[in-house]
């Protein structure tokens, strides 16, 4: 059990470490104004795609839920 807890915490720690290193690498490779302009250009596209994926997922979830509502599996 202790080994499993260690692996869980190690997974979280590695994620934080790698995201920090990736952030440092991007900041070293690109200057701040270039990053700001890139984010400004792609932000609306990313937000639109994200919302479209969330909408499609929620519609699929509700369609599946309601299609199973009258079956023995649901009861």
pLDDT profile of the chain (75 residues), mean per 10: 84 95 92 88 93 96 83 68
Instruction: Confirm if 35 and 26 have CB atoms less than 8 A apart.
Output: yes
Residue with tokens 């499993």: 4
Question: What pLDDT score was predicted for residue 74?
Answer: 64
Distance from C-alpha of 69 to C-alpha of 75, rounded to nearest angstrom:
8
Report the predicted TM-score, pTM, of the whole model to 2 decimal places: 0.50
Q: Which DSSP symbol is given to 68?
A: S
Secondary structure element (H or E) that encloses residue 61, with its range: helix 32-67
- The CB density around residue 39, as the number of other CB atoms within 10 Å, is 10
């Amino acid at each position: 059990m202790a080994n499993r807890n260690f692996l869980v915490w190690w997974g979280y720690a590695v994620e934080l470490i790698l995201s920090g290193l990736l952030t440092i690498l991007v900041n070293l490779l690109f200057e701040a104004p270039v990053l700001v302009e890139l984010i400004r250009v792609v932000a609306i596209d990313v937000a639109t795609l994200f919302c479209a994926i969330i909408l499609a997922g929620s519609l699929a979830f509700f369609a599946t839920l309601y299609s199973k509502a009258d079956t023995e599996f649901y009861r």
